[in-house]
Amino acid sequence: MATAGTRRHDGARSTEAVARAHSAARVHGLYTPPGLERVSTGAVDSFTTASGITGSVATSRSTGIDPGGDCPSAGKATTFAFKNSAGHVVSWSFAGADGVGAEVPDTTVERTLGTLRRHAGPSDS
C-alpha cells in the first residue's frame, strides 16, 4: 500500500520548495480527487541522513476524503529534497495510504529516509 522513488528537479531553486511541492503533488496525484484544496502540507524541516546528506523534508496528507468516493483511502507523502554530488536538486519520496490497517507508520518512513546515501557513480571497469 505504498510506493517510493527518486526524481531530479531541473531548475529547482531550493530544497525547501521541492520538499513542499513534491510531497503535495504525490498526495494529490495518488490520493485526492481533483483540487489541491484537499491536501495539507506540514512544516518543511531540515534533515540529515546517517550518511551525512543534508536537505529538506516535508509531509503532505489528503484531507476530507470519503473512503466510499473516488479514493479508497486518505493518503500521505513524505519528500526529502537535497543536492546530489553534481549540485542538482533531487528528491526521494514515499507515498502511501493513511489511516488504514496496512498503513506504513511515519516512524518507519523516517527510519528508511535516514538510510539514504549518495550513489558512488559508475566505475571505470
pLDDT tens-digit series, residues 29-62: 888 877 657 899 999 999 999 999 999 999 999 8
Q: How confident is the model at residue 69 (pLDDT cuts 50, 70, 90)?
A: low
In sign, the C-alpha dihedral spanning 62, 66, 70, 72 is: positive
Closest C-alpha to 78, from 12, 35, 24: 24
Domain count, the chain: 1
Alpha carbon 74 to chain centroid, angstroms: 15
Q: For residue 97, give its domain range.
A: 2-113
> What is the pTM (predicted TM-score) of this model?
0.88
123 is a domain residue: no
Kind plus residue range of the DSSP H or E element containing 47: strand 45-48
Provide the pLDDT for residue 64: 77
Grid cell at residue 62: 489528503
Provide the pLDDT for residue 63: 83
How far apart (Å, rounded) are the C-alpha atoms in residues 37 and 109?
25
In the chain, the amino acid numbered 41 is T
122 is a domain residue: no
How far apart (Å, rounded) are the C-alpha atoms in residues 45 and 59?
10
* Whether residue 78 has pLDDT greater than 70: yes
Q: How confident is the model at residue 120 (pLDDT cuts 50, 70, 90)?
A: low
Q: Which residues contact 121 (CB under 8 A, 6 or more apart)?
A: 85
Average pLDDT over the chain reads: 88
In the predicted model, what is the mean pLDDT of residues 65-86?
83
How far apart (Å, rounded) are the C-alpha atoms in residues 79 and 4?
10
119 is a domain residue: no
Q: How confident is the model at residue 86 (pLDDT cuts 50, 70, 90)?
A: confident
How far apart (Å, rounded) are the C-alpha atoms in residues 45 and 112?
17
* Whether residue 14 has pLDDT greater than 90: yes
124 is a domain residue: no
* Whether residue 125 has pLDDT greater than 60: no
